[in-house]
Amino acid sequence: MTHPGNVDDRPKEECGVVGISAGSDDAARMAFFGLYALQHRGQEAAGIAVSDGQAIRIHKGQGLVNQVFDHGTLDPLIGGMAIGHTRYSTTGANSERNVQPYVVETMHGPLGVAHNGNLVNTDLLRQKLLTRGAGLQSSSDSEVIALMLAASAGDSWEERLANVMPEWNGAFSLVVITGTKVLAARDPWGFRPLSIGQLPGGGHAVASETGALQTLGCDNIREVAPGEIVVLQGQVVRSHQAMKPKEHQARCTFEHIYFSRPDAVWDGLSVHQARQQLGEELAREHPVEADVVIPVPDSSMPAAIGFAAVSGITYNEGFVKNRYIGRTFIEPTQELRNQGVKLKFNMLEGNIRGKRVVVIDDSIVRGTTSGPLVRMVRDAGATEVHVRITCPPIAHPCFFGVDMGSYEELIAHQLGVPEIASHIGADSLGFLSVDRMMKALGKDDGYCNACFTGNYPIPVQLSLLPTKRRFDGAFG
């Protein structure tokens, strides 16, 4: 289904996960509010599985969190433990059979799994499962993870999880529910975020972002370490280092640039502050004479503040965002679809007319949105439009859970910066360099920048690589 949210040319995140071990039978409702705080990470489907100490009950479906759940669907989900998932599909099509969590019956009792990330050796793992006679029902690597865990050797679920984790190459932040406990684990590269906190009424919660834990009132929040397994059981939490963290960590830089909510803390850094520092470095690297700096809402707003502070150019708002257009599953007519980004943004002409404008945005992926945005600024009366991007050019696909597009879709793989500037109609265009980006984060290494550099932290199966060909037509 095509819906208005697709007019936005942004990297698409894969999903968000939450796990609850509460001191009451209200774990499902806590999971609901945790997912609601993670809605920005995936808007295609949602699900919650809950355990009462014996059986696992589940409800899941396609749509937004508040479309999938209401009192009628939450009331039967009684229990003190729960896991939840909100999904954007990266591997596996957006279909009902791929909605998570996955719940299976095993010889050790019921098991539910929700996964954030992407494995790069899924094809090999699927073949191994099929050879052993496993019945795969979906096209998602998350089901592969669930079935491998179900068949893993060990005397406890944490032992089985520790035994099977080394077979998974790629990004995974997992929440797992059994009849008696909730487990959480993170890959040894640390690709995707996962944090744990203490619930105010007793018990603990884990979630993809710290903001979701704060929504639940958690304190004593910390990051789950790469390679760590955390076990939540009643009021008790215990953990152990199942795998040694990789020497070269590979946290996703795009969590700072775009994905995470600004109130998140990722790798010990405030996301809002990191974005402001990205804007500051962008102003130093690509200065320009202009009258006003405007952000493309919402993730670029802190960066625009930072750019304005360093450049001395006045900050103001220029775009008014319809914050709900990307949250509807009502398909527009072709006539409305042709309006493109105008469905999502209106202009504050009084802040733009007769001025030289700097537009701050977080990324250019396929190049389908930047051109219409520049035209909107010009139509609002700008005399010049200068575009500044808070990350380097995205010239390579991601294989670790982010939908960046294939080589043939990525405009920066086909065109140089001057050509992209001409294509989008900007008077000038500046991307933040990798070195300046890392300087803004205060880091020398520990991050995956493969989408900018092509240097992947894990060897990628050649069969996974999208076709690499030169540009031979106009970008839409």
Angle among Cα 244, 401, 93 to the nearest 5 degrees reads 135
Among residues 240, 232, 235, 224, the alpha carbon closest in space to that of 187 is found at: 224
Residue 60 near residue 100 (C-beta atoms within 8 A): yes
Cα atoms found within 13 Å of the Cα of residue 83, Cβ hemisphere only: 30
Residue 43 to residues 330, 361, 449: CA-CA distances in angstroms?
Answer: 13, 22, 25
Specify whether the CB–CB gap between 37 and 209 falls below 8 A.
Answer: yes
Given a contact cutoff of 8 angstroms between Cβ atoms, the answer to whether 109 and 12 are in contact is no
Question: DSSP string of 313-370?
Answer: PEE---EEE-TTGGG--PPPPHHHHTTGGGGTEEE-GGGTTTSEEEEEES--SSSTTH
Alpha-helical segments (H) within 75-231: 122-131, 141-151, 157-164, 210-215
CB-based contacts of 133: which residues, under 8 Å, 6+ apart? none
Which structure tokens are listed for 209? 């972002």
Determine which one of 15, 391, 448, 451 is catalytic.
15
What's the CA gap between 99 and 45, in Å, rounded? Answer: 6
Longest dimension (CA), the chain: 72
Question: Nearest 10 degrees: CA dihedral of 467, 468, 472, 476?
Answer: 70
Structure tokens at 215: 């929504």
CB 53 within 8 A of CB 61: no
Taking CB atoms within 8 Å and a gap of at least 24, the contacts of 338-341 are: 340/7, 340/369, 340/372, 341/7, 341/8, 341/369, 341/372, 341/373, 341/376
Beta-strand runs (E) in 208-256:
219-223, 228-233, 236-241, 251-252
Look up 15 and say whether it is catalytic: yes
Cβ atoms 255, 223 nearer than 8 A: no
- Those residues with Cβ within 8 angstroms of residue 254's Cβ, 6 or more apart along the chain or in another chain: 11, 363, 391, 402, 451
> How do beta strands 384-389 and 428-431 pair?
parallel
DSSP string, 57-94: EEEEEES-HHHH--HHHHTT--BSEEEEEEE--SSS-S
**Residues labelled as active-site residues:** 15
